[in-house]
Chains A and B, each alone.
Chain A
Amino acid sequence: MDLREPIDHRVAGRASLALYLQVRIFSKLGKDHGMSYFEFIAKYGDRILSGTLVSMMLTILAAILAIAIAVAAGLMRMSPNPLVRGIATLYIEIFRGTSLLVQLYWIFFVLPLFGITLEKFTAGFIAVGMNLGAYGSEVVRGAILSVPRGQWEAALALNMSSGKRMLRVILPQALLIMLPPWGNLLIELLKGTALVALIAVADLTFQAKQINATTYLSAQSFGTALIVYYIVARFVITPSMRWLEGYMKRKMGRA
């Protein structure tokens, strides 16, 4: 049975309902301050938009970094070499065990003391990417371990090298298993990017703060940011991951 169409309708319906409520509530609030929500959007829309684009850029770059780190650290965790395993474990412990904000401050404010100065946008996505990479490595490791043993054995019986076994037999199957948890991680990652506003990267949160500071229209500024984050998470990331999952399932002949 194909459920895709009704779901799309539902998603579209929910998105427009959210927008409608936003307009209704904020126009009412806005009137009290002598500015309708339409006027607010007309005036600050381009700043919200540029902030949104920065947030999405951060998300994309951080996601690429997180995925690369997750695969590397996840594989290292399964290495027979205890040193390699130890390095990965240490990395994961540090980045999962401490706060993302403190990691961000470290990368931006402390690394320059050691001679590594990063531009704030770069520092921002690196911090978020490294943090989520640590969480992602456990997802990668779990997915690899959940590929049935028989698959390893069949690949070995074909005399495949250990690299080819991983690359051609195990990882493609692990990928399908790890897509749903990665969907959640990417949403976490998007939300995590909001912290970079604290080192003055002009992302969505930063723009909302700025608008609020000059207009005192808190409900409109932060409300708009809230809803944009929600829409990106719920109506961009989640459906993309669903699509990817469906695409891969079809490629594996499992649809």
Chain B
Amino acid sequence: MTTEDLLTFPLALQGDHVPMVSFRQVSKSYGSLTVLDSLDLDVAEGEMVTIIGPSGSGKTTVLRMLMTLETIDGGVIYIDGRPLTHMPKGIGLVAANSRHLRKMRSNIGMCFQHFNLFPHMTALENCMEGPVNVLGLSKKEARERSEQLLAMVGMVDKRHQHPSCLSGGQQQRVAIARALAMRPKVMLFDEVTSALDPEVIGEVTNVIRKLVAEHNLTMLMVTHQMGFAKDISDRVCFFYGGRIEEQGTPEELFGNPKRERTQQFLRAVKEAV
């Protein structure tokens, strides 16, 4: 994208209701494959937005771009009104340098499908790692914060276990506590229950339900569990071919889908169950 194109984007978002997350005309392609095509998506503070859609529709890519694990090819992403992927320079925006990325990234936490806990650390050490080594907390403060969060996810008894000694559901709960220990404003969940045995999915979804009920976190979640999405989302976005095909409240989207492709997808999902 040329600097001229970037001039059309504001240096910061202003107004009464600045969204916590804002994608503005964001594009992403791998070679000739366009994964996201000029995506616009706002998520308000405290909102829980669920992304559903067929495989390959770009759901994971949206979260990975927010986590800065993926660069973007066009557009700008704003977090809490400030540009994430770019930084102000003079009158316009330029691509963010690593210092800017580090500053902005502290607002965001992410949980992965395969947990990605550090295998050489215990559950507690996993949670303390960021607070001690990134936020600069004392060991004592970090331990207190981590134990509190591990208690919240029901893992405090196993805090001295290594990930290899924990079940998938337990590992995912520790991973959620680890991300929360950084006190992010935005939490991202990418199919956090997809790698789990059916009988332990509930222990992870219950933790997320609790987060929605008791905290004012802004959350973006990709899931294939339609029932869960229906229960806890403020809004559901149906992705198709790198675009938002349809979005609305869970009642609207699941109860009365307007677009043909949405109806097809929901029918196919229902049949699979």
Q: Residues of A at under 8 Å CB distance from B?
A: 148, 150-151, 153-162, 164, 168-169, 172-173, 176, 251-254
Contacts and interface: CB of A to CB of B under 8 A. Distances in A.
Interface in B158-217: 161-165, 175, 178-179, 182
A168 B69 contact: no
Given A148-B116, A151-B118, A153-B116, 5 more contacts: A154-B112, A157-B112, A158-B179, A158-B182, A253-B162
B244 interface: no
A254 B134 contact: no
B134 A160 contact: yes
A169 B118 contact: yes
A151 to B, nearest CB: 6
Contacts of B130: 158-160
Contact of B69 (A156, A160, A176): A156
A53 to B, nearest CB: 36
B114 A150 contact: yes
Contacts of B118: 151, 154-155, 169, 173
Contacts of B102: 159, 161
Interface stretch (B76-84, B103-111, B251-259): B103-111
B133 interface: yes
Given A164-B133, A253-B161, A159 B112 contact: no
Nearest to A154: B116
Contacts of A169: 118
A169 B117 CA distance: 10
A123 to B, nearest CB: 39
A157 B122 contact: no
Contacts of A151: 116, 118
Nearest to A252: B120
Nearest to B161: A253
B129 interface: yes
Interface of B: 67-69, 98, 102, 105-106, 108-110, 112, 114, 116-120, 122, 129-130, 133-134, 161-165, 175, 178-179, 182
Contact of B120 (A150, A156, A157, A173): A173
Contacts of A168: 129, 133
Contacts of A164: 133-134
B110 A157 contact: yes
Nearest to A169: B118
B119 A252 contact: yes
23 contacts: A153-B67, A153-B69, A153-B112, A153-B116, A154-B116, A154-B117, A155-B118, A156-B68, A156-B69, A157-B69, A157-B108, A157-B110, A158-B129, A158-B182, A162-B98, A168-B129, A168-B133, A169-B118, A176-B120, A252-B119, A252-B164, A253-B161, A253-B164
Nearest to A161: B102
A69 B110 CA distance: 36
A252 B110 CA distance: 24
A156 B102 CA distance: 9
B119 A173 contact: yes
Q: Which 3 pairs from chain A and chain B are nearest by CB? A: A253-B162, A154-B116, A158-B130
B129 A157 contact: no
B179 A159 contact: no
B272 to A, nearest CB: 27
Contacts of A159: 102, 105-106, 130, 134, 182
Contacts of A254: 119, 162, 164
Nearest to A165: B133
A253 B133 contact: no
Given A159-B102, A160-B133, A168-B133, A150 B162 contact: no
Contacts of B175: 154
Nearest to A170: B118
B122 A253 contact: yes
A153 B68 CA distance: 10
Nearest to B110: A157
Contacts of A157: 67, 69, 108-110, 112, 179
B98 to A, nearest CB: 8
